[in-house]
Amino acid sequence: MLDASVVLKWFGPAREKFVKEARAIRTRYRAGEAAITVPSLLYLELLNVAGRRWGWSEDALAQLASTLESLDFDVSEADLPSVAAWIARGLSAYDAAYLALAESRGLPLITDDELILRLAPEVARPLSQAL
């Protein structure tokens, strides 16, 4: 399972850290060597960053939206009590949704988010060690 901090590196500036690792996961996914599960909120997070942080135009955002729809990830949602439990441990609702879903599916969450890695070492795995 991947969170937005990883999938963002598929589309963003190549100068970010661990881009090579994130894009290697993309290559494995495209080759059919990996399945990827995400909550639907991943798409909103990616569009938000591309528009607000990276300043992409409406046309570029529309293209990204189309690309995201074609990825064919396994999209599922976590149950709210599990999300609430992670929020109580100090995570945002958004980050908690990824962790709760990973936990319910028995999957590791690959992330580049330091807070997630610190608060959920039993579920989260660092992108830097994903290869």
Whether 99 maps to a domain, the answer reads: no
Which residues, other chains included, contact 44 with Cβ-Cβ below 8 Å and sequence gap of 6+?
Answer: none
pLDDT of 77-99, one tens digit each?
Answer: 999 999 999 999 999 999 999 99
7 burial (CB, 10 Å; 0-12 / 13-18 / 19+) is buried
Whether 47 maps to a domain, the answer reads: yes
Domain count, the chain: 1
Whether 86 maps to a domain, the answer reads: no
- The rounded distance, in Å, linking the Cα atoms of 113 and 89 is 15
Determine contact, residues 5/126, Cβ cutoff 8 Å: no
pLDDT of residue 16: 84
Provide the residue range defining the domain that includes 120: 4-77+109-129
pLDDT of residue 78: 94
Whether 89 maps to a domain, the answer reads: no
pLDDT of residue 85: 98
What torsion, rounded to 10 degrees, do the Cα atoms 37, 60, 23, 20 define? -140
Q: What percent of the chain has pLDDT over 70?
A: 99
What would the mean pLDDT of 3-12 be, rounded to a whole number? 95
Whether 102 maps to a domain, the answer reads: no
Whether 116 maps to a domain, the answer reads: yes
Is pLDDT of 15 > 90? no
Q: What predicted TM-score, i.e. pTM, was given to this entire model?
A: 0.92
pLDDT of 26-64, one tens digit each?
Answer: 999 999 999 999 999 999 999 999 999 999 999 999 999
Whether 49 maps to a domain, the answer reads: yes
Whether 12 maps to a domain, the answer reads: yes
Burial track 21-56 (b if 16+ CB lie within 10 A, e otherwise): bbeebbeebeeeeeebbbbebbbebbbebbeeeeeb
